[in-house]
A and B are shown apart, each in its own frame.
Chain A
């Protein structure tokens, strides 16, 4: 960490601050993501014809909703930069390109956490059958954070690729969904016992290991490959 020039971190912090300020002054992505997840719960209520869900069905409903909401955020991540010339501005600045990756991934992570602060309690109120105890919630937060890190890294990579294509939305969706499948598998399997009817079960370590491995692998890959995506 100390070997990296501090300019990169400073630049990353500046870009992250810009992202957050943009979203605070003109909320767009966050509102859409939160509204989308709330509507998805209503859709699930009618589509499944159930008032409450538990176990693996609850985990599935939660993770499908969160993943699709994340897709919205991924799709918007670089759009304003491309439209308003932010990317060119960044490339003109004498800083490492990894700063952009760092800032964008952190911004996406912040968006995901912010949306989940609304969407997960809403899920517990609207659809979840037996609520897990405090220990269960803590374990859920752990899974959420590990999964969010993976989604943020892969999402930034996909967003950087997709923003330069003509069929931006299509490429984002068809590419991000299969890439995020391991996260979805691990997260929903890890969450299912927490929502069990019989009370929160144990958290399987192997799913956390898979999530951690996924985060690490794609973080390294993104670090190595991101420079090629912001050339010109």
Chain B
């Protein structure tokens, strides 16, 4: 019987608990033990949400690009599903990044949007590009072609991200001081631990949501397969979907 343990998502509970613990720990540390920033005061605390979100978003897009390359090379639809789920989750995290960025901008510069913060502008452009992913999938009917074209898009968009960041960064002669330089050396000692913990926590959150979506998709496919074995109408409902089709294992 195809009742594999994918139906329950075996590591889902452990991941969820780990996410809760690490994120809570990071936020408690950030709120109570990390020093208050002299310039911005308490509003700087959103840094512990905003920057990890941004980092995890970019890593998610890169991961999706790598999965897409693997799909193109192997034709294995599991890679396509990974790529799809990663882009879906990263897009949500990207919205989170933009929203927290806007709130932070309002708190520290008095405006919800400033054009001279190149990283935020780059994120907006990246968001606009990746927002095309779902419409693109949705408008291609043949599932195999849909996966193939979506993979090509994921690779192109993945390569677009760094050159976009370079162009936007260069377009602004006045660069704000980076809170986190490449080595992370600018960060005072008290802020470093909660910040790194927050990155790990948000990454775990991403992993949890990612696995949750994968599990849901697999369970639905399995349910459909079981129904078909019972001779019922599979009840797919819609013929077209932006999500990749998966065969029940």
- The CA-CA distance from A210 to B159 in the complex, in Å, is 14
Q: Is A206 an interface residue, CB under 8 A from the partner? A: yes
Q: Are B159 and A217 in contact (CB under 8 A)?
A: yes
A221 touching B156 in the complex, CB below 8 Å, given contacts A161-B136, A171-B139, A228-B148: yes
Give the size range of A's interface with the partner. Answer: 20 to 34
- Which chain A positions have C-beta within 8 A of B163? 182, 210, 213-214, 217
Tell me which of B145, B156, B157, B171 contacts A164 (CB under 8 A).
B145
Q: Is A170 an interface residue, CB under 8 A from the partner? A: yes
Q: Is B54 an interface residue, CB under 8 A from the partner? A: no
Q: Are A161 and B149 in contact (CB under 8 A)?
A: yes
Give min CB distance, A179 to chain B, whole Å: 6
- The CA-CA distance from A225 to B166 in the complex, in Å, is 23
Q: Are A166 and B139 in contact (CB under 8 A)?
A: yes
- Which chain A positions have C-beta within 8 A of B141? 166
- The CA-CA distance from A19 to B156 in the complex, in Å, is 26
Give min CB distance, A38 to chain B, whole Å: 29
Give min CB distance, B117 to chain A, whole Å: 15
Q: Indicate with 1 or 0, residue by residue over A138-175, a CB within 8 angstroms of chain B CB atoms.
A: 00000000000000000001000100111100110011
| B163-220, CB < 8 A from A | 163-164, 166-168, 170-171
Give min CB distance, B13 to chain A, whole Å: 39
Main secondary structure of the interface of B (DSSP, over half): helix
Give min CB distance, A152 to chain B, whole Å: 15
Q: Is B153 an interface residue, CB under 8 A from the partner? A: yes
- The CA-CA distance from A179 to B157 in the complex, in Å, is 8
Q: Indicate with 1 or 0, residue by residue over B110-144, a CB within 8 angstroms of chain A CB atoms.
A: 00000000000000010011011001100111000
A210 touching B149 in the complex, CB below 8 Å, given contacts A171-B132, A178-B132, A179-B156: no
Give min CB distance, A230 to chain B, whole Å: 11
Q: Are B151 and A228 in contact (CB under 8 A)?
A: yes
- Which chain B positions have C-beta within 8 A of A181? 125, 164, 167
Give min CB distance, A104 to chain B, whole Å: 15
Chain A, residue nearest B148 (CB):
A228
Q: Are A171 and B156 in contact (CB under 8 A)?
A: no
Tell me which of A166, A182, A229 contacts B167 (CB under 8 A).
A182
Chain B, residue nearest A189 (CB):
B171
- The CA-CA distance from A120 to B158 in the complex, in Å, is 33
Q: Are A165 and B167 in contact (CB under 8 A)?
A: no
Q: Is A10 an interface residue, CB under 8 A from the partner? A: no
Give min CB distance, B161 to chain A, whole Å: 11
13 A-B pairs (CB sep. < 8 Å): A161-B136, A161-B152, A166-B139, A166-B141, A175-B129, A175-B153, A182-B163, A185-B168, A210-B163, A210-B166, A221-B155, A228-B149, A228-B152
- 9 nearest A-B pairs in the assembled complex, by CB-CB distance: A178-B129, A182-B167, A165-B139, A167-B139, A178-B128, A175-B132, A166-B139, A185-B167, A225-B152
A residues bordering B, Cβ < 8 Å?
Answer: 157, 161, 164-167, 170-171, 174-175, 177-179, 181-182, 185-186, 189, 206-207, 210, 213-214, 217-218, 221, 225, 228-229, 231-232
Q: A164-B145, A174-B131, A213-B166 are known; give 15 further A-B pairs, CB within 8 A.
A: A157-B152, A161-B136, A164-B149, A165-B149, A171-B132, A175-B153, A178-B132, A179-B157, A182-B163, A214-B163, A218-B159, A225-B156, A228-B152, A229-B149, A229-B152
B residues bordering A, Cβ < 8 Å?
Answer: 72, 125, 128-129, 131-132, 135-136, 139-141, 145, 148-149, 151-153, 155-157, 159-160, 163-164, 166-168, 170-171
